[in-house]
Structure 1
Amino acid sequence: MAVTDEAILRIKGMILAGDLAPGDRLPPEKELSERLGLSRSSLREAVKALDLIRVLDVRRGDGTYVTSLEPRLLLEAMSFVVDLHDDQSVLEIFAVRRILEPAASALAARHADAEALTRLRGLVAGVDDGADVENLVDHDLEFHRGIAEATGNTYLASLIDSLSSHTVRARIWRGITQENAVDRTLREHHAILDAIAAGDADLASALTIVHVSGVEQWLRGAL
């Protein structure tokens, strides 16, 4: 195991053991390296790596802190990686979405409160058939994000959100090249929302499968 990797694991171990909690400031470099039995250079590299993936926050002139460790923050790196994938890889991302988003719709049907349903209804009502492609894309992202957040599972919501950035291109392509994309998308969103509001988890899941699979099927043909 590389020395830097060992240093990363040691810091991770301190967090898991509760020696470092979210928001805590790390001990000075010299003190921490001696405590962990590591060289200061390897510790420094480990801190840089953990800063990149938002586990640590290096503040110049102030010190290094453990971040909030919230799911959305930790999954930001994944969103960046998703954006680097090529067109063929995005099909695999859609396959993952086809698994996760129907499950999210089913959970939302069981757990969505009145506030979440009101927000989702507002999103659906705020877009009409005359919306342009960019507005449709924004609406679609917010709608699916709202469903994921309504599950009450922050990890699931963050994971779905991190997979959404690359799919924006597919939604734009679909809107430009297919007729009635706006009308079809809004009808599907209305149906999904009605199923969630009715507490019908199975129907909400099935409708979401159809919705996501429609974009995936078009993308396969386009590629």
Structure 2
Amino acid sequence: MAVTDSAILRIREMILNGELAPGMRLPPEKELSERLGLSRSSMREAVKALEVIRVLDVRQGDGTYVTSLEPRLLLEALSFVIDLHSDDSILEMFAVRRILESEAVAMAAARIDEDTIAHLRSLTASVDDSTDIEGLVAHDLEFHQAIVQAAGNGYLATLLESLSSHTVRARIWRGLTQENAVARTLAEHESLVAALERRDARLAASLAHVHIAGVEQWLASWAEDELEPAEADAVEPAEE
């Protein structure tokens, strides 16, 4: 289990056992991280993740609070959970995106110009370890969109843009819960740009395939881990 996942579970346990009640302010970051035996960076990412699904409310200059946890509030974030693991639709979207974008990248390798290469390098240079998750995902969207547009097929670009927009939540969740997400994404993007600059269509397509498949694999594994406890609870003990 990733360190951030562990932090999320521990905060959730504090809420479930009543140690943190609705509306209550969390202890300062340093105190809470020491109490749970976690690094402050892991604690910070866990708080971000729980803020996304409306469990925590981060108030700038005031502190972090447990929300009211009212059903209405939590239902607003329910689509987030549904997007991730209620069925296979999000995985199917990633599979379609992987197939189509790999081909789009191969097409782009034959047509891409130096200005687009320079733009792609500028995009990768604008992101580093200090970039937050929202910034990373915004970079990822712009990066992939620029490559697909370089393929020169407007219909394909529109189709992939639509598919990509439906996977944003999953990409944010991956960035929040998977360690080294920024470094991994940047390394893969830099390799892809290098292949495009060499006009190596086959290599570029392979790198795009692996890049997208990595998110697919993480999402499938994460959803499986989340569902296992529920499935285990559903199994009734055998009668003696």
**2:161 corresponds to 1:161:** yes
Q: Tell me the secondary structure at the aligned position of residue 115 of structure 1.
A: helix
Q: Tell me the secondary structure at the aligned position of residue 162 of structure 1.
A: helix
Please name the residue that 1:143 is paired with.
143
**2:118 corresponds to 1:118:** yes
Moved over 2 A (4+): 85-88
* In structure 2, C-alpha distance between the alignment counterparts of 1:161 and 1:155, rounded to whole Å: 10
* In structure 2, C-alpha distance between the alignment counterparts of 1:173 and 1:220, rounded to whole Å: 13
Name the larger-Rg structure. Answer: 1
* In structure 2, C-alpha distance between the alignment counterparts of 1:119 and 1:169, rounded to whole Å: 25
Amino acid at match of 1:109: A
* In structure 1, C-alpha distance between the alignment counterparts of 2:165 and 2:105, rounded to whole Å: 19
Amino acid at match of 2:141: L
How big is the shift at 1:107? 0.9
Please name the residue that 1:211 is paired with.
211
How big is the shift at 1:86? 4.1
- Render the CA deviation track for 1:106-143: whole Å, top value 9, x for unaligned: 11111001222121111111111221100000000000
Amino acid at match of 1:149: Q
**2:193 corresponds to 1:193:** yes
Q: Tell me the secondary structure at the aligned position of residue 164 of structure 2.
A: coil
Q: Tell me the secondary structure at the aligned position of residue 199 of structure 2.
A: coil
Change (3 A) 1:179 1:86: closer
Please name the residue that 1:77 is paired with.
none
Please name the residue that 2:58 is paired with.
none
> TM-score with structure 2 length normalisation?
0.56
* In structure 1, C-alpha distance between the alignment counterparts of 2:157 and 2:124, rounded to whole Å: 19
Task: Flag structure 1 segments of 5+ consecutive residues without an equivalent.
Answer: 1-82
* In structure 2, C-alpha distance between the alignment counterparts of 1:141 and 1:86, rounded to whole Å: 18
Please name the residue that 1:175 is paired with.
175
- Render the CA deviation track for 1:16-69: whole Å, top value 9, x for unaligned: xxxxxxxxxxxxxxxxxxxxxxxxxxxxxxxxxxxxxxxxxxxxxxxxxxxxxx
- Render the CA deviation track for 1:152-184: whole Å, top value 9, x for unaligned: 111111111011112111111111111100000
* In structure 1, C-alpha distance between the alignment counterparts of 2:187 and 2:195, rounded to whole Å: 13
Amino acid at match of 2:122: G
